[in-house]
Amino acid sequence: MHPVARLYERENDFPLYRGGPKKTYMIAAIPRTGSTHLSIKLWNTGAMGAPMEYTNLSNRDRMIQRLGRGDSLTYWKRLKTVRTSPNGVFGFKAFVSDYRNIAANHEALLPMIESDKVIYLVRKDRVAQAVSYAKAVQTAAWFSGVEYKKEPEYDLKAMLNAENWINQQESAWEEIFQMTGTSPLRIYYEDFLADTEKSIMEIAKFLEIHPAEFHPLGLQDIEKQSDQISQEWARKFTEYKNTVGQSGDIAA
């Protein structure tokens, strides 16, 4: 089992927490922004819950069966009892597709996933993000340590589609924030990597969690996937954008 998949297993549950969480938060994510890395870092403080991708109901079948015997409402209620840190904090990560799926197919669950605060994770380097997304889609390797199902090959159309898709995801989250009256804390992937400790403290302050509540857990983190192939794709795509894109003539 991949280390990320193992994080959803019983062995990584917190001790049973009785009563509702004192604080809840959501990480509003877009793929290829390092959201799993951020989630594990926050989880590893021991005071910010275990903010993993619980709202992806299509991929959480095993956990839904374990906690809710297939029922999404029971699953979410029991999830909070085992994924709330001892100080009463519950967090989760969600993508736009998760939010839309719940709104369309699990409407009764929608009010249950409302959170007190939202952390919005974005990436400054859009080219690197588009490269990462296009490569992951092509190889079906979303994490390091996963074998490629297909060897990566640069595809300009796939790169353009990836960039457009990322733009759509960001616009969708902004619409959701406006619709729900949410003022998220915006965290940039690059800033988080440059000074992880500073970003964690910024998030702790936003969530009103004192560092004295921290008790490190030692969970296994994941490695970055960037490699020479990614760097070469980024060079090619940047070159294309510089010669064609800036004039507004990028073709889909």
pLDDT per position as a tens digit, 34-84: 899 999 999 999 999 999 999 999 888 899 999 999 899 999 999 999 999
**With bands split at pLDDT 50, 70 and 90, how would you rate the model's confidence at 252?**
very low
- How far apart CA 226 and CA 92 sit, in angstroms, is 25
The predicted model gives 126-139 an average pLDDT of 90
What is the layout of strands, in order, in the sheet containing 23-29?
89-95, 23-29, 117-122, 185-188
Helices 196-207 & 35-43, crossing angle to 10 degrees?
70
User: Does 251 score more than 50 pLDDT?
Assistant: no
Torsion (CA) 156, 123, 171, 30 in degrees, nearest 10: 90
Number of other CB atoms surrounding residue 212 within 10 Å:
7
**With bands split at pLDDT 50, 70 and 90, how would you rate the model's confidence at 247?**
very low
User: Does 205 score more than 90 pLDDT?
Assistant: yes
List the beta strands (DSSP E) in 30-167. Answer: 89-95, 117-122
Report pLDDT for 147.
Answer: 73
The predicted model gives 12-18 an average pLDDT of 96
φ, ψ (nearest 5 deg) of residue 28: -80, 110
- Give tens-digit pLDDT for 86-112: 999 999 999 999 988 998 999 999 999
Report the percentage of the chain scoring pLDDT > 70: 92
Structure tokens at 37: 């890395």
Helices (H) and strands (E) in the chain, counts: 10, 4
CATH classification for the domain delimited by 3-125+164-223, as one of 3.40.50.2000, 3.40.50.2300, 3.40.50.300, 3.10.129.10:
3.40.50.300
CA-based nearest residue to 88, from 21, 41, 164, 137: 21
The predicted model gives 192-201 an average pLDDT of 96
Report pLDDT for 150.
Answer: 82
User: Does 116 score more than 50 pLDDT?
Assistant: yes
pTM for the model:
0.90
Choice among 10-24, 59-73, 201-215, 223-237 with the minimum mean pLDDT = 223-237
- How far apart CA 188 and CA 192 sit, in angstroms, is 6
Structure tokens at 240: 């294309």
Report pLDDT for 146.
Answer: 67
Report pLDDT for 250.
Answer: 46
Structure tokens at 85: 């840190």
The domain locations on the chain are 3-125+164-223
